[in-house]
Amino acid sequence: MRLAILTDIHANKEAFLAVLADVKERGVDQVVVLGDVVGYGPDPDWCVDRVVQLVKDGAICVKGNHDAAVTTPDPAMNPVAKAAIDWTAAQLSDDRKVFLSSLPLTNRMDDMLFVHASANDPGDWIYVTSENRAMGSFHTVTDRLVFCGHVHKPALYSCDIGNRVGGARIVPGSPVPLLKSRRWLAVVGAVGQPRDGIPQAAWALLDSDRNELTFRRVPYDIAATAARIRAAGLPDSLARRIMTGE
């Protein structure tokens, strides 16, 4: 089975369209969205509607902190994120808000767990940014593969039978073999707001038969999205951020 794992779309229509085209070209059996469909970007309605359609067609989607913040204020959010959420909440119709607030925090399929932030405390929006943070997930759940988003920087960790956690190197476009003797946690990079210095949209392709994970990057019209962020009156730093990917 081939799975497309997408996360942190952040209302970026152009990036989402480019990733969906790449997903189609690769050919997949299952789409998974790890949350943060909205926030930061200028197209929340379009992106929610596209995810609603994907879910109708069988996709799995879990809730991100920005999806939750549309209806439940998050005091931990920084002022720029909060300004974007207030703008987003004013755009979205009630049925789209209900869709976002009804999403589950986690979902499972076979030996895989899908969650926006961390497996150890899915509702606490922990950033899995280190081997130490990944350890929390490995020591709490027993799923062989855990997929997270939230960080906006792709990363891959594994845990051996002695519970030792290590990081693995990622080269975009190169399949990484997910050895059966280990459990794995993949932090999938953001579709709509990358922060690893590469502005191209990110997603990950899992081939569960070959047991390989490929982190992919896709170019899109970033200047168009940046212009629309500015035209919407969203904070200018959000336009600059997608241009640099930092």
SS3 percent helix, strand, coil of the chain, rounded to 5, is: 35, 20, 45
Task: Pick the closer one to Zn ion by CB: 36 or 196.
Answer: 36
Task: Pick the closer one to Zn ion by CB: 99 or 125.
Answer: 125
Task: Pick the closer one to Zn ion by CB: 8 or 143.
Answer: 8
Minimum CB–partner distance for residue 193 and Zn ion (Å)? 7
Minimum CB–partner distance for residue 49 and Zn ion (Å)? 19
> What totals of helices (H) and strands (E) does the chain contain, helices first?
8, 12
Extract the runs of DSSP E, i.e. beta strands, from 7-142. Answer: 30-33, 60-61, 106-109, 112-115
Minimum CB–partner distance for residue 66 and Zn ion (Å)? 6
Burial of 105 (0-12, 13-18, 19+ CB in 10 A): middle
Minimum CB–partner distance for residue 28 and Zn ion (Å)? 22
Residues that bind Zn ion (CB under 5 A): 8, 36
Task: Pick the closer one to Zn ion by CB: 8 or 196.
Answer: 8
Give the CA distances from residue 3 to residues 37, 67, 147, 202, in Å, rounded to whole numbers and listed in that order. 18, 23, 12, 14
Burial of 180 (0-12, 13-18, 19+ CB in 10 A): exposed
Task: Pick the closer one to Zn ion by CB: 22 or 36.
Answer: 36
Asked whether the beta carbons of 191 and 50 are under 8 A apart, the reply is: no
Minimum CB–partner distance for residue 29 and Zn ion (Å)? 26
